[in-house]
Structure 1
Amino acid sequence: MATKLPTKFWIYLILGISVFLLIRSYWRHTHPFYQDEAYFKKTLNTLLRPRSPGTPGHSYVREFLLLELKHLGFVTSRREFIDTIAYTNVVGVMNAEAKRFLLASCHYDSKVLPTGDNYVSATDGGVPCAMLLNMAKSLEPYLRNDFLDRPDIGLVLVFFDGHESMDIEDETNSLNGSRRFTDVETIPLNSIEVAIAINLIGAPDAIYMAHYENTYKLHERLADIEEELRSAGQLSKCHKLFHKLKDYNADIEDDHYSFFAESVPVLHLIPHTFPAVSHTEKDNLKNLHWPTVQNMNAIFTTFVYDYLKKHVHPISFGEESAEYESLQIP
């Protein structure tokens, strides 16, 4: 004979479902955008090819980035320079006349490996590039309408070239694109509110910690967004990515270094440890941890929307902490 479930069980079940539906409804109302996974996968497949400077793959990806940014409504430019060889930074700007900018960046070139030419550098540049374009695609209705022509804040997407050293034996000649960007001030450095650098995304078991005190509250907001998305049922089943932990003495050298050296506040989105496949031909589509990639897409897109939507006054990044509370909807 079947055991009858107590009335309290059904009451709690109904209440739980109701709360979940309310949270999901509120989240969808306050964040009116969706993740186009088909677009992301198509973009990633286009990017995942050997793309060291001077190769056909590099030229193809460079032109693809420029074309996609233009289609998404950004004013685009190619910033060419010579540093032993020719490099090209790809830059997209929205609201070019704004007083301040949120800058998000990654690198699109791949490393030359001594083992051969099948290295597609998925976590190391590939996924981050696709993430930036996916964010712009997901937010396109907002960026082309409510956000367009705002005088207080603009959005800059930068795809750096020359991140990897072309010399297999010498790793020191790297980060050429980001160094060039800050040297010539492609965007006036004093107008950049915060520079975000993204790299090494898509490995399993990756976790993310804060690397700089003055942008800790931005990192904290990423962790909160992850929890909010999970509560609203908007994330794939995956381990917790963003932890409210401070790891200020173990940052990894990346394209944000040039900005940090010029006192531009930086936020570095990179896992606590290198992916096991780093700088090997196993860093490919097959070995990506898809739940991590999906959740990083959702969290980052929501973070950018949150930042831009709530931006009213310039944010002051003091030595101790960012005044993130100044991001308020009037």
Structure 2
Amino acid sequence: MKNLALFCIVSLLTLSAAYSPLSDDTLKGIPDPGDDFNIKDGALLAPILRTRVSGTPGNAAVLQHFVDFFKTTLPEWRLEFQNSSATTPTSKGKKIPFINLIATRDPPGSQIGEVGRLALVAHYDSKLTPTGFIGATDSAAPCAMLLHTARSIDAALTKKWEAVAAEGSSQLEEPKGVQILLLDGEESFHSWTATDSLYGARALAEHWESSFHPPASTYRTPLDSIDLFVLLDLLGSSAPNVPSYFKTTHWAYKKMAAIEHRLRELRLFKSSANHPARVAKRKNKGLRAEGYFLVDSEKSDHDSAFMGGFVEDDHVPFMARGVDILHIIPSPFPRVWHEMTDDGKHLNMDVVEDWTRLVIAFVGEWMELDGFLDFKSARRADYTEKTEL
């Protein structure tokens, strides 16, 4: 037991030490999603803003949207589907299909079981009731954030790994990859219980727990390969209040909070009262107090007030199997939670863009991409491609 405890401490210190901050110039260059987040016809968000109850055509259409995005925009990402089915309290004995999409980007030449991954997670299904429910914060907007994040870091991952190869290095001593999990069946069909909720997450966690890598691999299973499971949910409403839920990942929460502080100091948060566009519109040009999204940045690692299991979500089956969780969900929940008003029109798009910028920066630091994130070149290439079309 002592050796196991020592291993856990060393692993935690290694992850924390590997986290490398981005420069101010890189933070300033993080791209906005722009028209791609337009709620009416934006290429990333609009196709998700529809009813998408598990097992329905709307759900299948959104899944196809994700697949098309990766295949056409990010062909280097490996796509996998994890399928399951289950009866629900409303299915009258019929089995409902649940399909999880896993998109993975690992260093080239990586061997199975040798890559630790940052998992970025959101659910894409919507609630059965009330009829016509969209679920913009729950979780269409988080899904769009993850698509834009993947697109924003993709070229930098390639450049970093090419640079490592050019130096003749023995491909990072501890190879790191990124994995995006778009999970199905998070919502309950009747009322939230242990069996009427988290259908896709429960199936995937169980499947990965029993899927073994080759003998002597660094990571025994795909679950073991997850260095950190970052779950985004209920994001996109004004003035979110996101606490640090778990003592074991409070260090990662503080890293993300530090990025938020820097982005606000650089006046890059659009929802901030101190963003230049907002300051320009008011008579008093002085700076105002910031209202932070991540409110527990000053909480001590030894504080006993962590909310641990207070909020049940897609992380639960993974956490029960020992995966470290960083849960990014507001408490209290947004006022629109499970209401018909949780639609595109009620999203605060400045907040949506700020969360997206924060997630991109967090991933960039985790993957140590400073010096490889040339956003201006990426934008020029994207513009050239569009004009040639």
TM-score where L is the length of structure 2: 0.68
Counterparts of 1:126-165 in structure 2 under 5 Å?
Answer: 126-147=140-161, 152-165=175-188
Distance 1:147 1:277, change over 3 A: farther
CA separation of 1:154 and 1:206: change in aligned 2, threshold 3 A: same
Distance 1:39 1:261, change over 3 A: same
Q: Does 1:86 align with 2:97?
A: yes
- Once the two structures are superposed, residues 202-259 of structure 1 have per-residue CA deviations (whole angstroms, 9 ceiling, x without a partner) of 1122111101111101111111101111122221133321122475236310011111
Q: Select 1:106's aligned residue among 110, 122, 128.
A: 122
Does the CA contact (< 8 Å) of 1:139 and 1:305 recur in 2? yes
Quote the Cα distance in structure 1 between the aligned partners of 2:306 and 2:178: 27
Aligned alpha-carbon RMSD (Å): 2.3
Q: Which residue of 1 aligns with 2:245?
A: 211
Q: Quick one: distance in 2 between partners of 1:309 and 1:216?
A: 20
| Matched-pair contact (CA < 8 Å) for 1:107–1:125 | yes
Contact preservation (8 Å) 2:33, 2:353: no
1:167-197: CA deviations, max 9, x gaps?
x256441101111111010761111111111
| Alignment check: 8 A CA contact 1:35 1:138 kept | no
* TM-score (normalizing by structure 1): 0.80
Shift of 1:54: 2.1
The 1:103–1:169 alpha-carbon spacing in structure 2 relative to 1, beyond 3 Å, is closer
User: In 2, are the aligned partners of 1:106 and 1:160 still within 8 Å (CA)?
Assistant: yes
Greater mean deviation of Cα atoms: 299-308 or 89-98: 89-98
1:282 to 1:75, Cα distance in 2 relative to 1, 3 A: same
Q: Which amino acid aligns with 2:47?
A: T
Q: Which amino acid aligns with 1:74?
A: W
Cα distance, 1:37–1:194 mapped onto 2, change above 3 Å: same
Q: Are the structure 2 counterparts of residues 144 and 68 from structure 1 closer, same or farther at C-alpha, using a change threshold of 3 Å?
A: farther
Q: Which residue of 2 aligns with 1:309?
A: 368
Match of 2:45, SS state, is helix
Contact 1:207–1:272 (8 Å) recurs in 2? yes
Correspondence 1:113-132 to 2 at 5 A = 113=129, 115-116=130-131, 118-132=132-146
1:145-224 maps to which residues of 2 (within 5 A)? 145-147=159-161, 152-166=175-189, 168-169=190-191, 171-172=193-194, 173-185=196-208, 188-224=222-258
Q: How does 1:214-253 map to 2 (within 5 A)?
A: 214-238=248-272, 239-243=291-295, 244=297, 245=299, 247-249=305-307, 251-253=310-312
Q: Provide the residue aligned with 1:63 in structure 2.
A: 64
- Aligned-pair CA distance for 1:291: 2.3
- Cα distance change on mapping 1:86 and 1:237 into 2, 3 Å: closer
Residue 224 of structure 2 aligns to a residue whose secondary structure is: helix
1:147 Cα deviation after fit: 4.5
Work out the CA distance in 2 between the residues paired with 1:283 and 1:147: 41
Code of the residue aligned with 1:261 in structure 2: it is A
Q: Which residue matches 1:293?
A: 352
Q: Answer yes or no: is 1:39 the counterpart of 2:36.
A: yes
Question: 2:77, 2:335 → 1: CA distance?
Answer: 35
Aligned residues: 284
CA offset at residue 26 of structure 1? 5.1
Structure 1: tracts of 5 or more residues without a match = 1-24, 312-330
- How has the CA–CA distance of structure 1 residues 227 and 57 changed in structure 2, closer, same or farther, with 3 Å as cutoff? same
Q: Distance in 1 between matches of 2:294 and 2:161?
A: 27
Paired letter, 2:312: E
| % same residue | 26
Residue type of the alignment partner of 2:226 = I
Give unpaired runs (5+ residues) of structure 2.
Answer: 1-21, 88-95, 166-170, 212-220, 273-290, 371-389
